[in-house]
Structure 1
Amino acid sequence: MTEQTSNQETTQQSNESTDQLHVGAIVEATVTAVAANVVHAEFGSQKIGQITRKEWSDVRLSTLEGVVAVGERILAKIIDLGDAAHPLQLSRKDAVNAETWAVLRERFEHQVTFPVKILSAVKGGLVADVEGLRAFLPASLIDFHFQSDLSIYEGKTIAVILTELDEQQRRLIISRKHAIEKEQQSLRTQKLREFEVGQIVTGTVARLTPFGAFIDLGGVDGLLHVSEMSFARVKSPEDVVHPGDQVRVKVLRIDPDQGKISLSMKLEDTNPWRSVSEQFHVGQIVSGTVKRLASFGAFVEVAPGIEGLVHISQLSSGRVESPAAVVTPGDQVRVKILELKPEEERMSLSIREAVKEQQKPAVTRQPTQTQTKAEPTSATLGELFGDVLREKFKL
C-alpha cells in the first residue's frame, strides 16, 4: 500500500467519523459498562458515549442494572457532542426511527416470535422494553391460566408476539400466550409427521368431553370421538374410558395445517363382525334391542356391536307411516335375518317375517300303532275277561 493510498483511506475514515459526530446522527454502539443510572457505549472509532436512565427507554426504570448487559449492541442517537468536561450524550429511546418501525411492522404482520425482558409488573399486566419503546403485556395474554402474582416475571426474558402496533401513539401490545400457542402449534405439526393414517398407537386418556376424549400421544393430543370408542353404541365417553387410562387407538385422519389428529378404538382385532357368520345365518330368528330410529326404519342390536336394519317395510304386515308408530328405542323384539354381509358390516332384519314364522300353525304328527296307548280304564278282571270265558265255555 502506498503512502498516498494510506492517507486517502485515513482521510476517508476521518470524514466518516466527522459525519457521524453530529447531533441527531444514529449510530450502532456496543455497551461497555452498566451502572444504576447510566450506560456507557462505544461506537465508531472507539468513541465513548453515555446513555442516562431517562434516555434509555420510554419505560420508566428505577435502575439500568439487570436491564442491559455489557456486550449488547444497540442503536443510539447523538443528542449532545459534549466537551472536554462532559462526555458525549446518547439516547437509545430517540434512536427509534423509520427503520425501527419497519422492523416492528414486519414482526407484527408475520407474527414473529421474539424475546423481551420484563422490566416491571404494573396494574393489569407487565411492562417490557422493545427497541427502546414501552411495550405492554396484558395479564390476560400472559398465560392460559390466571396469574395472581405478576412480579414473578420481573427481570425474566420471555418470548412474545406483537398483537397491536400504533406508530403515532408509540404504542405496542405484546402477548406471551400467542407465542406459546404458536410454539405448541409448531411442535404439534412436527409431531404429526411421525404418524400415518391406519397406524396403531398407544396413548393416555388426557381428558373427557361430552363428544369424546382427548388422547395424549406424547406431545400431541388426538380426538377419540364417542362414535369411535366401540363397535357397540356408546351413550357417554365415561362409560368406556377414564382420564389416565392407557388405550390402543388407530389413526383415522391427520390434518397438519390444523394440528389435529382423529383416532379410533374400533380396531380390527376387536371387530365383532369378524365372527358374525359363526353366530348368525340367513333365515334365523333372534332377539334384539331397538337402538335408534330413522325415517327409513329401525336399527336393532342383536349382539354387542352388531346392529341390523329393519326397513320400514319390514316393521309390520300393514302400512307403516313412521317407525315410531311401531317400535321405540329400548324395545325387545324378535327379528328374522333376511341378509347378512359381514364384509360390509351390514345385516337386514324383519320383524314382519319373524311374526309370520311365529304365527304358523304347529304341525301335529299322527301317532303310529306302536305309539298308541290304551286309554286308562277302571274295569275289573271279570269285566275284562268275561267275554273270552263265555265264548270258550259256551256260557
Structure 2
Amino acid sequence: MTEEVKNSPIADFDWEAYANGETKGEKTREELTKTYDESLNTVRDKDVIEGTIIALNKREAVVNIGYKSDGIIPMSEFRYNPDIKVGDTVEVFIENQEDKKGQLILSHRKARAARSWDRINEALEKDEVIKGYIKCRTKGGMIVDVFGIEAFLPGSQIDVKPIRDYDIFVGKTMEFKVVKINQEFKNVVVSHKALIEAELEQQKREIIAKLEKGQVLEGSVKNITSYGVFIDLGGVDGLIHITDLSWGRVSHPEEVVQLDQKLNVVILDFDDEKKRIALGLKQLQPHPWDALDANLKVGDK
C-alpha cells in the first residue's frame, strides 16, 4: 500500500510549494489565464457576430458569444419574433466588450439594422416571405419593423378584404412580402395581402368552375353601395342589385344587410367568363303573393 502511494502522481506533488502559493501544478496562473483567454472568441467593438440565447425572461435575454462573459439584450429588441426561445442563434452587435461594471454590451437591433438593407433586397429578389412587427398606424397604412428598419404597409395591402379597424393590427407580428424598394430614398413597401392572393386565386378558380344558375351559396357582405351589395363568395365577388334584396321597396341596401353579415344567396346569372356574377337574396324568401288567401277573387280587398 505504501509503495503504491509513493509511486502515484499525488506522491510527486510538491505540497509545501502549493501551501506557500509558489506553484499551481505544471502551469502558472498567468499561463492558465492565457490558455483560457485563447480558448475564447476574439471579438472587437462594432463587430456583428452570432450568439446563442442561454436564458430568457420577460425583460431580457442572456446571450453567449463564446466570450469570457455573457451579454444581456432587452426583450423589446426581439418583439418582432414572439417565438424566440433558449437555444436560438441570433445576430448581435458588439457595442462594448466591457462597460464600467465589466459587462459585455450587445445589441440585436443594431445587428439587424447593419445587415437589413442587404436582406431586404434579397427578400425582394427571391420573393421571400419575411416576418415583421407592426409598430404603429400612419397615414394610409402601418409602419412595420422588418430586419430592424421601418417599412410601409399600405392599408390596401393588409388584407384582401377592406379594413375598417387598423388598430387591431398594431403590436402584431405578421408575415409579409417585399413589393417595392426605393433605393435612392431607402423606402421599403411590404404587403401581407400578396401572401394570400395566390391561395385565393386557386379557390376562385375552383368556385368559378362550379358555378351554375340557381345554385345557392353562402357569402359575406363585403361592400354596400347605393345600388346594391357586393358579396364575397370565398375569393369571388358577386353583386346583389338593390331590386333583388327584398320583395318590398328598399330605399338603401343598408336597410336590409350589414357589413360582414353572412348570407345565403342564389346565383341568378353570370357572363360567359363568369367575371360578373348576379346574385339574388329575395329569391330565397317567400313571395308576398304566396301568403294571400287562395280563394281571393277580382275585386276583393
State the TM-score, normalizing by the size of structure 2.
0.51
Which one of 113, 119, 122 corresponds to residue 106 of structure 1?
122
Q: Is the 8 A contact 1:26 1:76 kept in 2?
A: yes
- For residues 251-283 of structure 1, give each alpha carbon's deviation from its aligned partner in whole angstroms, at most 9, with x where no partner exists: 944xxxxxx756699xxxxxxxxxxxxxxxxxx
CA contact (8 A) 1:113 1:179 kept: no
- What does residue 18 of structure 1 align with? 41
Q: Does 1:116 align with 2:132?
A: yes
Aligned to 2:196: 183
Contact 2:135 2:145 in 1 (8 A): yes
> Unaligned stretches of 5+ in structure 2?
1-36, 247-262, 280-301
Report the CA distance between 1:22 and its aligned residue.
2.3
Q: 2-side partners of 1:263 and 1:182: how far apart?
A: 26
Q: State the distance in 2 between where 1:192 and 1:92 align.
A: 44
- SS of structure 1 residue aligned to 2:215: strand
Give the number of the structure whose alpha-carbon radius of gyration is greater: 1
Deviations 1:27-71 (A, max 9, x none): 2234432454x54223347962123589x49xxxxxx79978444
Q: For 1:178-327, what aligned pairs fall within 5 Å after superposition?
A: 178-180=191-193, 182-193=195-206, 196=209, 202-204=215-217, 218-221=233-236, 245-247=265-267, 252-253=272-273, 261=275
CA-atom RMSD, angstroms?
A: 5.0
Percent identity between matched residues is 20
Query: SS of the residue aligned with 1:95?
Result: helix
Which of the numbers 81, 94, 102 marks the counterpart of 2:97? Answer: 81
Quick one: distance in 2 between partners of 1:179 and 1:166?
19
Give the match's secondary structure for 1:18. coil
Deviation at 1:183, TM superposition (A): 0.6
- The alpha carbon displacement at 1:96 in A equals 3.7
In structure 1, the residue corresponding to 2:98 is in which secondary structure?
coil
Task: Name the structure 2 match of 1:256.
Answer: none
Q: Which residue of 1 aligns with 2:25?
A: none
Aligned-residue offset at 1:114: 3.0
> 2:136 touches 2:143 (CA, 8 Å); kept in 1?
yes
Q: How many residues align?
A: 222
Do the aligned residues in 1 keep the contact of 2:91 with 2:111 (CA within 8 Å)? Answer: yes
Q: Deviation per CA, 1:297-350: give whole Å up to 9, x if none.
A: xxxxxxxxxxxxxxxxxxxxxxxxxxxxxxxxxxxxxxxxxxxxxxxxxxxxxx
Residue equivalent to 1:42 = 64
TM-score (norm 1): 0.41
Which of 74, 86, 91 aligns to 2:107? It is 91
AA aligned to 1:246 is: V
Q: Does 1:29 align with 2:51?
A: yes
Instruction: Write the deviation string for residues 203-256 of structure 1: whole angstroms up to 9, x where unpaired.
Output: 44878999999776x5232668xxxxxxxxxxx966678785423768944xxx
Deviation at 1:132, TM superposition (A): 1.9
C-alpha displacement at 1:161, in angstroms?
3.3
Seen in structure 2, the aligned counterparts of structure 1 residues 237 and 39 have a Cα distance that, compared at 3 Å, is: closer
In structure 1, distance between residues paired with 2:82 and 2:237? 42
Where do 5+ consecutive residues of structure 1 fail to align?
Answer: 1-13, 58-63, 225-235, 254-259, 266-395
- Distance in 2, matches of 1:99 and 1:107, equals 12
Separation of aligned partners in 1, 2:199 and 2:81: 32
Q: Note if contact 2:119-2:147 (Cα within 8 Å) is conserved in structure 1.
A: no
Query: For the residues of structure 2 that align with 1:122 and 1:79, how far apart are their CA atoms?
Result: 32
